[in-house]
Structure 1
Amino acid sequence: MIFNKKSHILVAEDDEDDFLFFKDALVKTTRATISNVRNGVQLLEYLDTNPKPDLIFLDLNIPRKSGKQCLKTLWETHYIDSVPIVIYSTSRNEEDIEECYNFGARFYMIKPTSYGSLLNLLNRLFGQLSHDPREFIRREEFLIREAK
């Protein structure tokens, strides 16, 4: 998927430093407009009142309504059928990963330890992200993380 000046990426991240770090990497890997919401309630309200973004990055550990709760709501309402959602989290918990896969997230990206690794992961992600958010992703392609 190519993100140009007309594209819009929404990032659900409550930590301002993490968001600014992530936004800087997104600016280097895409030309899209980038917006931020700070909690799950704000995310769902934003999605109800604004045009659909082209992509959503969703942290699992956001306040008021967790990322998993938001993902489940978006899956139940079929919002996820038209907008790809990428989980962006520190959690390496297999149950979290499996649940996100089952609730239709496009990819699960584990937050990397360095800026260079983040740029590499984003380039990998954007190389794999198709135009169709409903395209089936095999479980072995779902997890994107730093090489060990």
Structure 2
Amino acid sequence: MTVRKVLLVDDDVDDIELFLEALLELDAGITCTHAKNGVDALQTLTKTSLPDLIFMDINMPKMNGWDCLKALKNDPHLKHIPIVMYSTSAHDTEVARALSLGAKCLFRKPHSFNELKNTLQKVIGLT
């Protein structure tokens, strides 16, 4: 899969900045659109060209990642988009839940910038 366009769904400003910086360092050709919660993500997806990949936090206001994941996978026009979930915790039950709902994977929010870059590189397939 060639990733050229990413949608990031997260409400944490610091996490967004780190994500964008890491993505830019990995491949400046990847564009990233941002949504602050699940409701915003669904609205964004109706207004722009579809992304190749969605990264989505689980814990957000208005509509959390679980509910947004369900909505995306139930929409015939959006269900084909790979979704990567992430959170401050990634217990086995959460990983299993993410996979059963149709996510590509779930990873724990990295503790360092380099760890984030390595994780993004693996997930996006730039290795």
* TM norm structure 1: 0.77
Preserved contact between residue 90 and residue 107 of structure 2 (Cα < 8 Å): no
**Residues 64-86 of structure 1: per-residue CA shift (max 9 Å, x gap):** 000000001111224222x1111
How many residues are treated as equivalent by the alignment?
125
Partner of 2:6: 9
Partner of 1:68: 66
Q: Aligned-residue CA RMSD in angstroms?
A: 1.7
* Partner secondary structure for residue 125 of structure 2: helix
Partner of 1:106: 104
Greater mean deviation of Cα atoms: 88-97 or 112-121: 88-97
User: 4+ residue runs of structure 1 moved beyond 4 angstroms?
Assistant: none
Task: Write the letter of the residue equivalent to 1:19.
Answer: I
* TM norm structure 2: 0.89
Alpha-carbon distance in 2 for matches of 1:86, 1:92: 12
Preserved contact between residue 5 and residue 53 of structure 2 (Cα < 8 Å): yes
**Residues 36-86 of structure 1: per-residue CA shift (max 9 Å, x gap):** 1111111111112221111110000111000000001111224222x1111
**Residues 82-130 of structure 1: per-residue CA shift (max 9 Å, x gap):** x1111122122322211110111112121111111111111222228xx
Q: Which consecutive residues of structure 1, in runs of 5 or more, have no partner in the other structure?
A: 129-148
Partner of 1:80: 79
